[in-house]
C-alpha cells in the first residue's frame, strides 16, 4: 500500500517532479505506468493538489476543475469506464489545466484581477459579447474598488454588502454588461470577494509587520 504522494511516485518508478508536473514528457511517462490504478491515483492526487494550491482564491476555476476531476473519478469508481480511459481523461484535464495556467500568466493580471475576470466571464454569452479586453479592464477596476471599500468583518455587515452590491451593479451598467446576467454576476463577484478578501487581509498584515520592523531597525541604527 502506498502511503502518501511521495510513495506513489516511488512505487510507480518515477522521480517526483517539480510542479511542471503537467509537462507532456511527464504525462507521457504516467500513461505508460503498467499499474493503471496507480496511475489514476497519482494523477488525481497531483491534479487535486494543483487545483487547491494554484486556484485557492479563485471561486470559478476551483469549482470548474474540481467538478471535472470528481466527474472522472466517479465514473471510474462506478466502473462505467476502465482505468485506461480515466487516465486519458485525467491527462486531457491536466493539459487543459496547464493551458489555462499559461493563459492566466499571459494576461498580465494580478491573482485577484484574474479571479474577478473569471467571475465576470463565467457566462459565455457575456464573454462573447464583451471580449477579453473589456472584461480585463472591468476586473482591474473591480479589484481596486472592492479592496479599497472593505472593512473588518464586512461579510457579516448587511449595510456594507448592500453598498458593495450597488457599487458592482453600477460598474456593470457602465460597461453595458448583459442585463439578464447581471444578478448572477453580482452574486458571483461578491462570493469571489469573500474568498479573496482573506488573502488581502494577510497581505495587508504582512505589509504592516514589514513596516514596523523597518521602522524599528531604522531607529536602532
Here the cell at position 63 is 469549482
- pLDDT of the residue at 171: 95
Q: What is the pLDDT along the chain (221 residues), one digit of tens a residue?
A: 455 555 555 555 555 544 455 677 888 888 888 888 888 888 888 888 888 888 888 999 999 889 988 988 888 888 877 888 888 888 888 888 888 878 878 888 998 999 999 999 998 888 889 999 999 999 999 999 998 888 767 777 888 888 999 999 999 999 999 988 899 999 999 999 988 887 776 555 455 565 556 666 666 66
Instruction: Report the greatest alpha carbon distance in the chain.
Output: 70
Handedness of CA 42, 13, 88, 21 (dihedral sign): positive
Grid coordinates representing 135 are 472584461
Looking at residue 205, its pLDDT comes to 46
pTM of the model: 0.73
Q: What is the pLDDT of residue 115?
A: 92
Q: What's the angle, vertex CA 138, arms to CA 135 and CA 144, rounded to 5?
A: 140
The predicted pLDDT at position 209 comes to: 63
Q: CA 11: distance to chain centroid?
A: 30
The SS3 call for residue 108 is: coil
Q: Dig out the grid coordinates for 55 from the structure.
A: 486556484
Amino acid at each position: 500500500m502506498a502511503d502518501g504522494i511521495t510513495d506513489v511516485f516511488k512505487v510507480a518508478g518515477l522521480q517526483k517532479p517539480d510542479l511542471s508536473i503537467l509537462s507532456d514528457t511527464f504525462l507521457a511517462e504516467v500513461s505508460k505506468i503498467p499499474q493503471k490504478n496507480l496511475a489514476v491515483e497519482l494523477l488525481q492526487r497531483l491534479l487535486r493538489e494543483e487545483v487547491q494550491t494554484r486556484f485557492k482564491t479563485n471561486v470559478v476555476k476551483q469549482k470548474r476543475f474540481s467538478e471535472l476531476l470528481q466527474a472522472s473519478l466517479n465514473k471510474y469508481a462506478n466502473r462505467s469506464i476502465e482505468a485506461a480511459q480515466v487516465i486519458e481523461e485525467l491527462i486531457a484535464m491536466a493539459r487543459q489545466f496547464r493551458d489555462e495556467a499559461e493563459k492566466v500568466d499571459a494576461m498580465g493580471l494580478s491573482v485577484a484581477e484574474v479571479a474577478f475576470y473569471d467571475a465576470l466571464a463565467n457566462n459565455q454569452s457575456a464573454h462573447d459579447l464583451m471580449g477579453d479586453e473589456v472584461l480585463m479592464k472591468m476586473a482591474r477596476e473591480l479589484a481596486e474598488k472592492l479592496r479599497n471599500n472593505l472593512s473588518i468583518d464586512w461579510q457579516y455587515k448587511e449595510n456594507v454588502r448592500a453598498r458593495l452590491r450597488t457599487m458592482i451593479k453600477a460598474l456593470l451598467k457602465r460597461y453595458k454588461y448583459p442585463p439578464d446576467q447581471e444578478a448572477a454576476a453580482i452574486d458571483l463577484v461578491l462570493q469571489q470577494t469573500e474568498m479573496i478578501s482573506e488573502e488581502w487581509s494577510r497581505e495587508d498584515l504582512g505589509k504592516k509587520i514589514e513596516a514596523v520592523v523597518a521602522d524599528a531597525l531604522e531607529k536602532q541604527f
